């Protein structure tokens, strides 16, 4: 039918709609109702944003979630909307309220509407719709920002829009104040205000009109005041009593009250001849050289010329106390007085230089330090702040610093020597690495340091390698050593390699003649099997016959490689990052294995072929190489560093 409304249908079903926003009411017994529901949610989302103006809402707050600045979330416990002001990752557990309490600057409640913030303040965070005031101006914040050095700059930057400005009234107030200063208005006096549209400014309140109105009555009463002209003014300006008195005093020129009138001057002129005669009779004779006065010393004191910073004359010497006070401006300092002027923290003066011993001690408060003394002080502090132990000893806690950082390497195990007829020995395991940060307050005045010894080289037939020793810092730190290798005395197979040291245990020496030793335990107490890489800071397992040793994890040592007697090239020692690397396996008639490498610890020693001698591991913690009929490589010693900060 023309002009009629035909509701949409879904496969023959009529779509119903809400009255105001035409939301599609899904027909749940008909297919396709999900699309109607999605459309409804889109419309609701648009309406909410249009009404509130609040966007960037990312649902409910959750744990272990990264939030950026300006993101908004809902606290489902109280249905409050919050906005992020510091980028961060939320706590792994706990409530939103607890996270906000622990980090009060991270979140701020979102308010839909204007929020008064009072006077504008520099270097302060503001949000949209917040109201600020500044010297008669009221503005609305337009964005999230931190205020600049001035309100005007924030307006220029577009962060504030001024909606009220009453600062222009200050010009009118200044004009009124300037005009009213010309006289004193009494209570009830009227100011004429008529016809403000007068284009000739005859009836408006102007400076000239207001001044004329105030001064129109020439018959002043009371005690009116007026500006006092400067001395020497010669105009028609009103002369105040202060101006007249000052002018008369200039004429008198300091004359005493006895002669400050014309009558008194006339009387004195009548006796001038008598006064001159008396003066002549009392004058001194210049040839007498002050002998005609009662006291020549007093006369000299009276006529002496005092010295100043612009004239020469008689001066007085300052005492030591006056020199140290540094406040006298009339006396002169002697060399002895200068020596008495010692320097302090607030006063310059003579200062004694500190000796090298005093500079290194750093406790003297009265002597000055030269650049050379400062260098000695720095060198002395460096020697205490960084201590490297390559052999066992005692660490002494310095008098300064807050924390001690300990870096330690366990020693490497040595390679093995094969039996006769030729058997090939495996390579030794690398030592583990560990580091710890300890508060100085928790450490005793001295701590025993033990440096693990490397496994000794082997020259006798059918001799296994020796395990590397542990490196210790008292009971606080232990860096475990690598395991020794097997010699394979009763088989044509090569001997197994020693296991690399781990964070919780030493690398194992090989339990059988051919199998590699397990790696040192990781942080969970788990050991790596023979030839397997270490994980979670554990050591790598030692290699079996002709196999490479397992690599150490971040702090674990590398496993030693297995030896071989079947003409196959041997595997290399296990690599490491911070721990020592494993040694290479030996071979009786073919190419021996190379030692593993470490980024920060010692490298493993290379294995040897036939009667050749294997290479020892590198310091710190490298495992030694294996050999057939020569001498195996020794494991490298451990090492320990203590840095105080």
528 vs 473, higher pLDDT:
473
pLDDT of residue 179: 46
List the CATH number of the domain containing 69: 2.10.10
pLDDT of residue 477: 95
pLDDT of residue 513: 56
**Averaged confidence pLDDT in the chain:** 76
120 vs 417, higher pLDDT:
120
Beta-ladder partners of 141? 160
Give pLDDT tens digits for 12-36: 444 567 776 666 677 666 676 677 6
Residue 163 covered by a domain:
yes
Give pLDDT tens digits for 165-201: 877 554 444 544 444 444 454 555 554 444 445 555 5
Task: At 321, give phi and psi (nearest 5°).
Answer: -65, -40
153 pLDDT more than 60: yes
Which of 34-43, 106-115, 534-543 shows the highest mean pLDDT?
Answer: 106-115
Residues 6+ apart with CB under 8 A from 17: 7, 23, 24, 25
491 pLDDT more than 60: no
Q: Are residues 572 and 529 in the same domain?
A: yes
Give dist(CA 208, CA 202) in Å, integer: 10
Q: What confidence tier does 245 reach under pLDDT thresholds 50, 70, 90?
A: confident
Average pLDDT over residues 346-373: 64
List the CATH number of the domain containing 150: 2.10.10.20
15 vs 553, higher pLDDT:
553
pLDDT of residue 566: 58
Residue 560 covered by a domain:
yes
Residue where one domain finishes, among candidates 77, 94, 109: 109
pLDDT of residue 307: 64
422 pLDDT more than 90: no
pLDDT of residue 214: 54
Q: Are residues 72 and 42 in the same domain?
A: no
205 pLDDT more than 80: no
386 vs 248, higher pLDDT:
386
Residue 619 covered by a domain:
yes
Range from 145-149, 150-154, 238-242, 402-406 carrying the lowest mean pLDDT: 238-242
Domain range for residue 201? 170-215
pLDDT of residue 193: 47
- What's the chain's Rg over C-alpha atoms? 50
Residue 266 covered by a domain:
no
Q: Are residues 553 and 441 in the same domain?
A: yes
Q: Could you tell me if 529 and 518 are in contact, meaning their C-beta atoms sit under 8 angstroms apart?
A: yes
pLDDT of residue 396: 94
Q: Which DSSP category does 165 fall into?
A: E
pLDDT of residue 461: 82
Residue 503 covered by a domain:
yes
9 pLDDT more than 50: no
Q: Are residues 484 and 541 in the same domain?
A: yes
What is the number of structural domains in the chain? 5
**3-class secondary structure per residue, 230-292:** CCCCCCCCCCCHHHHHHHHHHHHCCCCHHHCCHHHHHHHHCCHHHHHHHHHHCCCCHHHCCCC
Residue 34 covered by a domain:
yes
Q: Are residues 25 and 65 in the same domain?
A: no
pLDDT of residue 6: 46
pLDDT of residue 148: 95
Q: What percent of the chain has pLDDT over 70?
A: 57
The 10 Å Cβ neighbour count of residue 417 is 35
384 vs 465, higher pLDDT:
465
Q: What confidence tier does 277 reach under pLDDT thresholds 50, 70, 90?
A: low
Q: Are residues 48 and 62 in the same domain?
A: no
Q: Are residues 632 and 508 in the same domain?
A: yes
Q: What confidence tier does 642 reach under pLDDT thresholds 50, 70, 90?
A: very high
Q: Are residues 395 and 499 in the same domain?
A: yes
Give pLDDT tens digits for 84-132: 989 999 999 999 999 999 999 999 887 666 778 899 999 998 888 789 9
């Amino acid at each position: 039918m023309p002009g009629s409304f035909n509701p949409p249908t879904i496969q023959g079903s009529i779509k119903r709609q809400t009255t105001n926003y035409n939301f599609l009411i899904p027909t749940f017994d008909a297919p396709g109702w999900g699309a109607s529901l999605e459309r409804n949610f889109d419309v609701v989302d648009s309406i909410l944003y249009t009404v509130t103006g609040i966007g960037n809402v990312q649902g409910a707050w959750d744990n272990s979630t990264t939030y950026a600045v300006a993101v908004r979330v809902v606290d489902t416990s109280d249905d409050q909307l919050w906005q992020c002001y510091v980028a961060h990752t939320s706590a792994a557990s706990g409530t939103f309220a607890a996270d906000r309490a622990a980090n009060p600057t991270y979140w701020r409640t979102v308010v839909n509407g204007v929020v008064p913030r009072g006077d504008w303040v520099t270097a302060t965070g503001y949000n949209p719709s917040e109201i600020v005031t500044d010297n008669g101006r009221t503005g609305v914040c337009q964005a999230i920002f931190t205020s600049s050095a001035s309100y005007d700059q924030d307006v220029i930057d577009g962060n504030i829009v001024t909606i009220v400005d009453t600062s222009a009234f200050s010009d009118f107030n200044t004009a009124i104040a300037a005009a009213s200063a010309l006289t004193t208005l009494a209570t009830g006096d009227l100011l004429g205000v008529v016809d403000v549209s007068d284009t000739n400014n005859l009836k408006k309140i102007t400076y000239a009109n207001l001044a004329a109105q105030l001064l129109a009555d020439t018959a002043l009463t009371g005690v009116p005041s007026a500006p006092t002209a400067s001395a020497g003014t010669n105009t028609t300006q009103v002369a105040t009593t202060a101006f007249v008195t000052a002018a008369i005093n200039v004429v008198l020129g300091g004359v005493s009250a006895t002669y400050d009138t014309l009558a008194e001057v006339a009387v004195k002129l009548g006796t001038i001849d008598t006064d001159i005669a008396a003066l002549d009779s009392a004058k001194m004779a210049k040839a007498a050289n002050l002998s005609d006065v009662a006291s020549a010393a007093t006369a000299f004191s009276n006529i002496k010329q005092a010295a100043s910073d612009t004239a020469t004359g008689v001066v007085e010497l300052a005492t030591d106390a006056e020199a140290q006070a540094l406040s006298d401006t009339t006396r002169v300092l002697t060399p002895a007085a200068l020596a008495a002027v010692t320097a302090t923290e607030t006063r310059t003066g003579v200062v004694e230089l500190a000796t090298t011993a005093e500079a290194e001690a750093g406790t003297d408060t009265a002597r000055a330090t030269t650049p050379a003394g400062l260098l000695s002080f720095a060198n002395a502090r460096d020697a205490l702040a960084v201590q490297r132990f390559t052999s066992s000893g005692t660490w002494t806690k310095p008098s300064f610093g807050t924390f001690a950082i300990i870096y330690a390497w366990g020693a490497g195990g040595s390679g093995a020597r094969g039996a006769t007829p030729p058997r090939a020995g495996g390579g030794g395991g690398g030592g583990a690495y560990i580091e710890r940060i300890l508060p100085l307050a928790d450490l005793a005045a001295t701590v025993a340091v033990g440096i693990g010894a490397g496994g000794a080289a082997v020259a006798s037939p059918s001799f296994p390698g020796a395990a590397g020793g542990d490196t210790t810092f008292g009971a606080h730190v232990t860096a475990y050593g690598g395991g020794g290798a097997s010699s394979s005395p009763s088989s044509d197979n090569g001997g197994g390699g020693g296991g690399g040291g781990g964070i919780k245990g030493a690398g194992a020496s090989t339990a059988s003649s051919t199998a590699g030793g397990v790696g040192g335990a990781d942080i969970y107490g788990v050991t790596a099997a023979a030839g397997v890489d270490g994980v979670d800071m554990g050591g790598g397992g030692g290699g079996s016959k002709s196999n490479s040793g397992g690599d150490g994890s971040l702090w674990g040592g590398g496993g030693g490689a297995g030896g071989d007697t079947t003409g196959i090239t041997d595997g290399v020692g296990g690599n490491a990052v911070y721990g020592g690397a494993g040694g290479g396996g030996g071979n009786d008639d073919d190419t021996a294995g190379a030692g593993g490498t470490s980024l920060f610890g010692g490298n493993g020693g290379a294995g040897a072929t036939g009667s050749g001698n294997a290479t020892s591991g590198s310091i710190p913690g490298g495992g030694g190489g294996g050999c057939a009929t020569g001498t195996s490589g020794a494991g490298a010693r451990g090492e320990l560093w203590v840095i105080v900060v």
